[in-house]
Amino acid sequence: MSTNERSPLLAIIGGSGLNHLSILEDTRRQFVRTPYGEPSCPLTLGTICGHEMVFLARHGHGHTIMPADINYRANIYALREVGVTGIIAVGSVGSIHPSMGPGDLVIPDQIIDYSWGRISTFFGCEQGVEMHTDFTHPFSEMLRSRLSGVADLLGFHVHDGGVYACTQGPRLETAAEIRRMAGDGADVVGMTAMPEAVLARELNIPYAMLNVVVNHAAGIGESTQGIQFSALGDVIEQAMCKARLLIEALVGCKVPT
């Protein structure tokens, strides 16, 4: 069955600072087994404003899974198994572009993948299977414009577009690495968009990201001398509050998935 024939079911993948979605009601947990192993945690199914939703904590409920150790294939496959037809992935990032700073929301439209060694396809060596997935535009324009439309309605300033640089982590970058990424055209840096985005594409699930800037990237602005990630708790909490409101409005707005 193609994505279009299923009834709409939106999933939120929560990253650092969004390990659960308190606005979800009537929640129930669902353990999903996949041929790729276990997802980061059981899926949480529930409703927002009467609309069915699914939530998955990317790093596990206790935030114990490092970016490179996340079982991205199991996560995306599990979401497909419960009938998800669109994914909004929330992730914290550092800002590289001078117009972006802590507390800002970004809806990226491109990715540069600097991560390595992560399993980034569902395809094996099956004969006759088209394994070269088109990824020219890695994010769903339909979901991106829904996100930016709802942000406008709420009066939230968002950066509509931007290049997401995906690094391996868990360490943060050096100042020279960030300069190189800026030269490559990157606007924000995070650790989890890949291979999540391409796996969703392989399974034909529209996928968009909502990024929350929590720090200037290494060597930039107040991060010239370094980044105290543990001191960012308040910024993360406030920015994630905005992300929660946006998601609630997105689902409540009844815009078709």
**Which residues bind to ligand HPA, rule: CB under 6 A?**
92-94, 167, 172-173, 189-191, 214-215, 217
ω into 42 cis (within 30 of 0): no
DSSP conformation class of 217: P
What are the strands, taking DSSP E only, across the chain?
10-14, 25-30, 43-48, 51-57, 86-95, 105-107, 110-113, 158-160, 163-166, 188-190, 207-216
Residue 12 or 191 having the CB closest to ligand HPA: 191
Residue 18 or 189 having the CB closest to ligand HPA: 189
Pairing of strands 25-30, 43-48: antiparallel
Q: How many Å apart are CA 219 and CA 175, to the nearest integer?
A: 5
Least distance between ligand HPA and beta carbon 194 (Å): 12
Least distance between ligand HPA and beta carbon 205 (Å): 24
Residue 138 or 206 having the CB closest to ligand HPA: 138
Give the residue closest to ligand HPA by C-beta.
94
Residue 217 or 240 having the CB closest to ligand HPA: 217
Least distance between ligand HPA and beta carbon 218 (Å): 6
Residue 74 or 191 having the CB closest to ligand HPA: 191
Least distance between ligand HPA and beta carbon 133 (Å): 25
Q: How many Å apart are CA 218 and CA 20, to the nearest integer?
A: 28
How many other C-beta atoms lie within 10 A of the C-beta of residue 103?
15
Least distance between ligand HPA and beta carbon 84 (Å): 25
DSSP conformation class of 69: G
